[in-house]
Structure 1
Amino acid sequence: MTELSAKYGPVFSFKCGQFDVVVINQWKFIKEALANEHLLGRPKETTIPGVIEHASLIEMSGESWKQQRRVALTVLRDVGLGKSEMEDSIRDQIKSFTEVIKSSEGKPITVADKLFLSVSNNISKLVFGQTSAYDDPASLLMAKMMPEAGKMKFFNVQQFMPIIANLVIKLNLFNMTEIISHIRKFESHILDEVNIHKTKNTDDNSIKDYIDGFLHEISKRQNEKDSTFHVNTLQRNAALFYFAGSDTITTTLQWMMFYLVKYPEYQNKIREEIKQTIGLNRQPENVDRKQMPFTMAFIYETLRHSSLVPLNILRRATEDTKVGDFSIPKDSLVTFNFWSVHRDPNLWDNPELFKPERFLNEDKSKAIKPPYLIPFSGGRRVCPGESFAYLQLFLYLVSFLQQFEISAEPGKDIHLESVQNFVTRKKELPNLIFKSVD
């Protein structure tokens, strides 16, 4: 997309399957587009037509999206998002995870699955009201599904040619049978949770998690015509929160570990900052971020350099509109090239380099996040879990480096080649060695 923009301009369009797709590059135009009320819509089809029948709030447009988002944010805050109890719960999960790492100390290990199980418990607490053991069958299934889900291409046949979606499924093209099987199993797991909550709510009307809150909203709106508050939407929203809250944080933390190993000088620098502020024994707290500018600069640079979400989830123009002098016809699909912003040499000095110092002020006393660092999108469609994500990234990173020196296996180098689909993932996941800090 970035190469095409160099040839055809910062805002260009092309035909993809059944749709006209507009790609917006450069911060100047993306900033304008993020504030454009006519670019808040979503495609009329679900993410995987023929497989997913009901829209989650992230796939909704207009008033239904506004209502679903408002209720979700209210419920999640009421049950713990942004509260000290949630922070305590995250620290408990980190402690359990580090104990698992200690059991394999000094040996090369793959941390991906265990890390996913730890991070997923943080969002599970908010959505399902409970956490799971690392050997829980449903959680292990989710950890297995992540790599499979990550193989789906951004420009895929199902979404851009929904007219043949059923044929793709029938012929099992693009490994769809396995993907559908995983989706159905997870849907069944969520439905079981919903039924458990329904039984519980017969005797207890308190709202302890997102499912409780949504069921309460269903009851309130049962006489509303065309309400989107029903069990099918709850099923989809719960799946959305679980995957988005687990996979993106897990993948970012993996990138952090690889950058720490690739550039050990930064690992040492962060650990020194930890020693000077909270020491190696006290668990970190969210308020410590203000006293740890280099640690925060490292987090910002990880998000910029990896560009975890290189292209935003597709939007749809709900009316004829313009970005700059470029016309965007109604019902065009629109995507923003965040990767082009994060690698723009007009915004960043030597953008190809991994350089956390770029986020520090002149005397290095403060980490500054510029508006064009947009890993969580922006505007009214900004990721509602942004602050929750930063909290976890900070607590996990500091906890890791308080306790471990992280390195590659002897004789093996860490390469940073990536694969870009919906999410930017490292091409290979090498084993790492965790050694306790002396």
Structure 2
Amino acid sequence: MILELSFLFLLLLLYLYVTDRKPSNMPPGPTEIPILGGMPVLDEKQAHPLREKYGDIVTVRTGAIRTVILFDYKTSKEVMARADMAGRPDIFKAFSIDEQKTGGIALSEGPQWQHDRRFMLRNLRNLGMGKTYLEDAVHVEAEALVEDLKKYDQQPIAYPDSFRTAALNIIWQMTASRRYDLRSEEVKLIYEASKDLQSSSMALTMMPFFFPFLRKLPNILQKIFFKQNLVDAFIEKMRATITKTVDEHEEQLDLDNPRDLIDEYLKEMKEQEHDKETLYRKGALLQIVNDLFDAGSDTINTTIKWVVYVLARYPQVTKKIQHEIDEVVPRDRMVSLQDKPNLPYVEAFITEILRFSSLTGLNVEHTAMQDTTIEGYFIPKGTVVVNSNYAIHFDPQYWDQPHNFSPERFIDEDGKFQAPKEGFFAFSSGRRQCPAETLARMEVFLFATAIIQNLEILVPDGVQLSDDTHNLLGIRVPVSDTFIYKPRS
């Protein structure tokens, strides 16, 4: 009996090896183990050794998922512009609050994604994105943020939630005609759920997504081993908040006077309610609003953290920026977008922040929507494809001494700001390029200059700043996070 079972087991292993092995002519990578693949590559620190060993295009496999990682700028730019690479992995659907799992602009693909993206861009532009009058709204939040930081009375504090809420308020006013108090308890509940998820072991939390059979385990086991309850809690808190906001808009809707993006969508839904082919659905709206909530708060929030860290880490840079601002802008008014041409070092500083931080060390994943090739390598349909922003931003081919923080690399010989032409991927590229890049750049410029103009960022006594970062749900954040915010004299 034992002999027969051993023989059947060997046959099963042989079957798995033959049917589950890596297709020929895929990019090189670590040896795959049938079913298991290998350990997941979740951040740039795990990915970097692969480039050194296998080159600029590498295949890794975790469980059922094969991922091709692109480390080179030119290849990344060419691939991300292709229609056959505009898909999203199926595992993203687990984080969608749309019951059909097809709506929104971040996690979806295909006709619904194209429709939702066009709607969002059109209406955000109409509501002020890219227009100077939105600057007043950012100034309100920037001033409120500075005053909130002063309230800590020069006590050492970790990055406060007000960073995130100030950023959220910009997109939320355009989306839902509402702003939160910078210490709002309502959004604090969402932040806490997000922090609980971030503090868990992401390698374990993501295992059921890489190994689908693990999702069939009893809920109690998924909770114990993979912290699935933290994922579910975060999604449910987001669903409840977004649904409440949309329901309130439905009750108050005035078709003749839409106030914001939600009203505009509900108006389109009403006008097309008898069209069986319409892509205007409440589920899709919930996910669009959810995407805007996340993108409007997380990215700018983390960028502000990097601004604060760099100001404290490099005081000589801070003095130079403050001097330039003080020379151009009177202390009794805030920096304006109109001041930009006269603040080349500030622009260079912010651009270097975007390069040096490389917020998403590994960019958001794409998938191949059909069998295709990259640089002659075969890429099967459904393969996850991701580029390494970190590798691009620290590539000596494009950046002299890339690990040095140096705004001067963006200043030309005439002392003017010089935008990067190659080797820069902060807002991605191609069909999935950040749709709100203009708004993001405006916010970072105005929030950063408000902090620089009004506050000194100091390191608490006895604290040695670290150059290390950690990865929080795919976003790079400085390990050092506690600072003193002292009003400038």
TM-score bin (small chain) = over 0.9
Q: Secondary structure at the match of 2:158?
A: coil
Structure number, greater radius of gyration: 2
Q: Which amino acid aligns with 1:109?
A: I
2:207–2:226 Cα contact (<8 Å) kept: no
Q: How does 1:260-409 map to 2 (within 5 A)?
A: 260-409=311-460
Q: Which amino acid aligns with 1:422?
A: G
Aligned in 2, Cα 1:148/1:299: closer, same or farther, shift over 3 Å? farther
Aligned to 2:171: 123
- CA shift at 1:381, angstroms? 0.7
Q: Which amino acid aligns with 1:190?
A: I
The answer to whether the aligner puts 1:75 opposite 2:123 as a matched pair is: yes
Aligned to 1:192: 244
1:112–1:250 Cα contact (<8 Å) kept: no
The answer to whether the aligner puts 1:19 opposite 2:19 as a matched pair is: no
Cα distance in 1, alignment partners of residues 363 and 416 from structure 2: 33
Aligned in 2, Cα 1:287/1:357: closer, same or farther, shift over 3 Å? same
Q: Secondary structure at the match of 2:435?
A: coil
The answer to whether the aligner puts 1:427 opposite 2:479 as a matched pair is: yes
Cα deviation 1:103-154 (Å, max 9, x = unaligned): 2333223342122222211121112111012343322223323423445748
The answer to whether the aligner puts 1:165 opposite 2:211 as a matched pair is: no
Cα deviation 1:300-358 (Å, max 9, x = unaligned): 11111111011121111112222222221222111111111011111111111111111
2:82–2:431 Cα contact (<8 Å) kept: no
The answer to whether the aligner puts 1:234 opposite 2:234 as a matched pair is: no
Cα distance in 2, alignment partners of residues 192 and 199 from structure 1: 11
Aligned in 2, Cα 1:28/1:7: closer, same or farther, shift over 3 Å? same
Q: Which amino acid aligns with 2:92?
A: T
2:352–2:405 Cα contact (<8 Å) kept: yes
Q: Which runs of 4+ in 1 moved over 4 A?
A: 49-53
Q: Secondary structure at the match of 1:42?
A: coil
Q: Secondary structure at the match of 1:48?
A: helix
Cα distance in 2, alignment partners of residues 166 and 98 from structure 1: 49
Cα distance in 2, alignment partners of residues 426 and 229 from structure 1: 40
2:95–2:235 Cα contact (<8 Å) kept: no
Cα distance in 1, alignment partners of residues 302 and 121 from structure 2: 24
2:87–2:110 Cα contact (<8 Å) kept: yes
- CA shift at 1:37, angstroms? 1.9
Q: Which amino acid aligns with 1:5?
A: R
Aligned in 2, Cα 1:383/1:162: closer, same or farther, shift over 3 Å? farther
Cα distance in 2, alignment partners of residues 270 and 49 from structure 1: 41
Aligned to 2:146: 98
1:376–1:386 Cα contact (<8 Å) kept: yes
Cα distance in 2, alignment partners of residues 50 and 304 from structure 1: 30
Cα distance in 2, alignment partners of residues 77 and 346 from structure 1: 37
Q: Which amino acid aligns with 1:167?
A: L
Q: Secondary structure at the match of 1:58?
A: coil
What count of residue pairs does the alignment treat as equivalent? 436
Cα distance in 1, alignment partners of residues 282 and 270 from structure 2: 11
The answer to whether the aligner puts 1:156 opposite 2:206 as a matched pair is: yes
Q: Secondary structure at the match of 1:118?
A: helix
Cα distance in 1, alignment partners of residues 218 and 195 from structure 2: 21
1:22–1:333 Cα contact (<8 Å) kept: yes
- CA shift at 1:410, angstroms? 1.9
The more displaced of 148-157 and 332-341 is 148-157
Aligned to 1:181: 233
Aligned in 2, Cα 1:46/1:163: closer, same or farther, shift over 3 Å? farther
Structure 1 residue runs without a partner (length 5+) = none
Cα distance in 2, alignment partners of residues 96 and 312 from structure 1: 32
Q: TM-score, normalised by structure 2?
A: 0.84
Aligned to 2:309: 258
Aligned to 1:2: 48
Cα deviation 1:377-433 (Å, max 9, x = unaligned): 111210111111111111011111111111111222221311124111223422x11
1:10–1:24 Cα contact (<8 Å) kept: yes
Q: Secondary structure at the match of 2:227?
A: helix
Q: Which amino acid aligns with 1:427?
A: V
Cα distance in 2, alignment partners of residues 326 and 398 from structure 1: 46
Q: Which amino acid aligns with 2:207?
A: V
Aligned to 2:12: none
Q: Which amino acid aligns with 1:192?
A: K
Cα distance in 1, alignment partners of residues 284 and 400 from structure 2: 45
Q: Secondary structure at the match of 2:311?
A: helix
1:120–1:246 Cα contact (<8 Å) kept: yes
Q: Secondary structure at the match of 1:375?
A: coil
- CA shift at 1:49, angstroms? 6.4
1:343–1:352 Cα contact (<8 Å) kept: yes
